[in-house]
Amino acid sequence: MMQSARFCAAPLLLSTALAPAMAQADDVTPSERVSSAVLVRKGPSTDTAILARLRPGDSASIVGEVPGWYEIELVDGTRGYVSKAWTVAVGDGGATLAGKRYRVHIIDVGTGLAVFVDGEGFALLYDAGSQDDLHDGDENRVIAYIRAVRPDLTRIDHLILSHPHKDHLQLMPDVFRRFEIGHVWESGRVNKTDGYCHFIKAAMAEPGVRYHDAIASNTTRTVTFSGSGCNGSVTVRQGMMMDAVPVALGAGAKMNFLYRDARNYADPNGNSVVVRLDLGIKRVLLAGDAEGGERELPAEPPQARSIEAKLLACCAADLKSDLLVVGHHGSLTSSRSAFLDAVGASIYAISSGPYPYKRARLPDTEIVSELERRGRVLRTDRSDLFRANDDTASCELNPRKIGPDADETPGGCDNILVTISGQRIEAEYSNLAD
Ligand SMILES: [Zn+2]
Ligand SMILES: [Zn+2]
């Protein structure tokens, strides 16, 4: 669908994304005498704009109070005020698992992938790459985005590289410079490119980091690079092996490595680390560039040695998820129907941009159609220039985009925000500016 607006759509965050009916400590909910809704206002006054409505059964977190008003935060991060006359503060003495809140951000990096997960007690980044937006430092689009949504964040507890391709790792070395990194997880499959060289050097130089791969427990190996932009030998010290044991994240969350394989496949897509995040009672599947085989229609079964086939054979039940960050940017190489049946998600996020992969611009329309039959599809390329054939739908020159302003590169306007709160999972486009 084309947009008619010249710039990105206005923020779409003020939807129905309120917290679930289950109340936690320090929540507020409409009082019994409210029949329709309590207005959430921009300021502590009835003269200020209405931002949202809190209906009977809804609740929101209390973040402050002034005389006559509670300052609250909705599940999408919107802050506003509700009158104390129409609300009651409630608490159950401790947050329950079902009441935890997690935000999954699929950052619009142009052609590539970066997924930032902001949970209670942890922050996680799965990939940070781009084929067409290579600004670094504070202009790095991934860093700019994280700084916009979490200006207070200093540490990323888990950094996962799905596989060593530029569109998944190019923006990562900067992430080490900007944040303290707790754990690095990758398959261990080496790609002798400057990008991977910078990544592994940054990982090994990070103070206190714990590095994990799928090669063998407690190994030390030396990797030598001879690129023009990055070269020399790197000693890679592995800590705990990346294996099938779930990794505890923060409150009520864990990470499961469903596929990890360090073998030297001709195409590193075959090394894609497939991760399932259990965020409270909801599941998120991150497929990297995992494939089902050659470019085929989804109805074809996955080819025997593909990651999709291996996952169906070993652990189809483990694939069941609520959100799928779709494999290989929505390519016909991935998302076979049999695989999608096992995942059974209701929300599908596709990260893609205008840079062609072997002459194919992704996502493929057949994959988008297949996903749309199954649930809601959101994609990071909807404002990219090439789709509109003119600049009317472009955000390349939008002064309000995440990352470098008006930089004439794709990306930055169609970030996807999935918010999980107890039983609720809500997906919206998140068009913010840094
Ligand atoms: Zn890719
Ligand atoms: Zn790839």
- CATH number for the domain harbouring residue 65: 2.30.30.40
Residue 203 reports pLDDT greater than 90: yes
Whether residue 16 lies inside any domain: the answer is no
Rounded average pLDDT over 125-129: 98
Distance 333 CA to ligand 1 centre (A): 11
Distance from the alpha carbon of residue 290 to the mean position of ligand 2, in angstroms: 8
Give the pLDDT of residue 351. Answer: 98
Tell me, in angstroms, the distance from the centre of ligand 1 to residue 38's CA: 45
Contact 110, 415 (CB under 8 A): no
For residue 113, report the distance from its CA to the centre of ligand 1, in Å.
7
Average pLDDT over residues 363-378: 98
Question: Do 216 and 291 belong together in one domain?
Answer: yes
Is the pLDDT reported for residue 93 higher than 70? Answer: no
9 in any annotated domain: no
Residues 76 and 33 in one domain: yes
Least distant ligand from the CA of 328: 1
State the distance from the centre of ligand 1 to the C-alpha of 329, rounded, in angstroms. 6
212 and 199 within one domain: yes
Query: Taking a C-beta distance cutoff of 8 angstroms, is the pair 270, 164 a contact?
Result: no
186: pLDDT confidence band, cut at 50, 70 and 90?
very high
Q: What are the structure tokens assigned to 426, written together?
A: 């809500």
Write down which residue in 47, 72, 95 finishes a domain: 95
Is 150 found in the same domain as 68? no
Last residue of some domain: 38, 72, 95?
95
Q: What is the mean pLDDT of the chain?
A: 86
395 with 319, same domain: the answer is: yes
Q: Do 353 and 384 meet the contact criterion of CB atoms below 8 Å apart?
A: yes
Name the residue with tokens 């073998």: 263
* pLDDT reported for residue 376: 98
Q: Which residues contact 282 (CB under 8 A, 6 or more apart)?
A: 102, 322, 323, 420, 425
Q: Is residue 226 part of a domain?
A: yes
Question: Are 72 and 197 within one domain?
Answer: no
Tell me: do 70 and 149 sit in the same domain. Answer: no
Above pLDDT 70, what percent of the chain? 87
Give the distance (Å) from ligand 2 centre to CA of residue 386.
Answer: 21
143 and 162 share one domain? yes
CATH number at residue 210: 3.60.15.10
Q: How confident is the model at residue 36 (pLDDT cuts 50, 70, 90)?
A: confident
CA distance 259 to 305: 13
Residue 60 sits in the same domain as residue 123: no
Does a structural domain hold residue 207? yes
Q: Which two tokens stand for residue 234?
A: 């790197």
Distance 107 CA to ligand 1 centre (A): 14
- The whole-number pLDDT of residue 71 equals 87
Q: How far is the CA of 132 from the centre of ligand 2 (A)?
A: 14
Give a yes or no: residue 252 inside a domain: yes
- Look at residue 63 and tell me whether its pLDDT is greater than 90: no
* Distance, CA of 125 to CA of 190 (rounded, Å): 20
98 pLDDT exceeds 70?
Answer: no
Q: Is the pLDDT of residue 128 over 50?
A: yes
Residue 67 belongs to a domain: yes
Q: How far is the CA of 178 from the centre of ligand 2 (A)?
A: 25
Q: How far is the CA of 95 from the centre of ligand 2 (A)?
A: 40
The three state secondary structure string of the chain is CCCCCCCCCCCCCCCCCCECCCCCCCEEEECCCCCCCEEEECCCCCCCCEEEEECCCCEEEEEEEECCEEEEECCCCCEEEEEHHHEEEECCCCCCHHHCEEEEEECCCCCCCEEEEEECCEEEEEEECCCCCCCCHHHCHHHHHHHHHCCCCCEEEEEECCCCCHHHHCCHHHHHHHCEEEEEECCCCCCCCHHHHHHHHHHHHCCCCEEECCCCCCCEEEEEEECCCCEEEEEEECCCCCCCCCEECCCCEEEEEEECCCCCCCCHHHHCCEEEEEECCEEEEECCCCCCCCCCCCCCCCCCCCHHHHHHHHHHHHHCCCEEECHHHHCCCCCCHHHHHHHCCCEEEECCCCCCECCECCCCHHHHHHHHCCCEEEECCCCCHHHHCCHHHCCCCCCCCCCCCCCCCCCCCCEEEEEEECCEEEEEEECCCC
Strand partners, 257: 275
Q: Which tokens sit at 355?
A: 């840079």
* Ligand 2 ion: Cβ-proximal residues, 5 Å cutoff: 165, 269, 289
Strands 155-160 vs 180-185: parallel, antiparallel or unpaired: parallel
Of the listed ligands, the closest to the CA of 167 is: 1
- Same domain (yes/no): 184, 283: yes
Phi-psi domain of 403 (left: phi exceeds 0; alpha: psi -120 through 50; beta: other): left
Which residue, of 95, 115, 147, is where some domain finishes? 95
Classify residue 12: in a domain, yes or no: no
Q: Is residue 73 over pLDDT 60?
A: yes
* Model pLDDT, residue 433: 60
- 313 C-alpha to ligand 1 centroid (Å): 24
Residue 432 predicted with pLDDT over 80: no
Q: Which ligand is nearest to the CA of 363?
A: 1
Spell out the residues 6+ positions from residue 196 whose beta carbon is closer than 8 angstroms to its own.
164, 169, 190
Residues 418, 319 share a domain = yes
Residue 172 lies in a domain: yes
- For residues 138 and 90, state if they share a domain: no
| Residue 334 CA, ligand 2 centroid: distance in Å | 12
- Full domain range(s) for residue 59: 27-95
* C-alpha 335 to ligand 2 mean position (Å): 15
Q: How many domains does the chain have?
A: 2
Say if residue 283's pLDDT is above 90: yes
- How far is the centre of ligand 1, averaged over its atoms, from the C-alpha of 336 (Å)? 17
The whole-number pLDDT of residue 15 equals: 32
pTM confidence score: 0.77
Using the mean position of ligand 1's atoms as its centre, give its distance from the Cα of residue 136 in Å: 19
Distance 269 CA to ligand 2 centre (A): 5
Mean pLDDT of 203-228: 94
d(CA 305, CA 405) in angstroms, rounded, equals 43
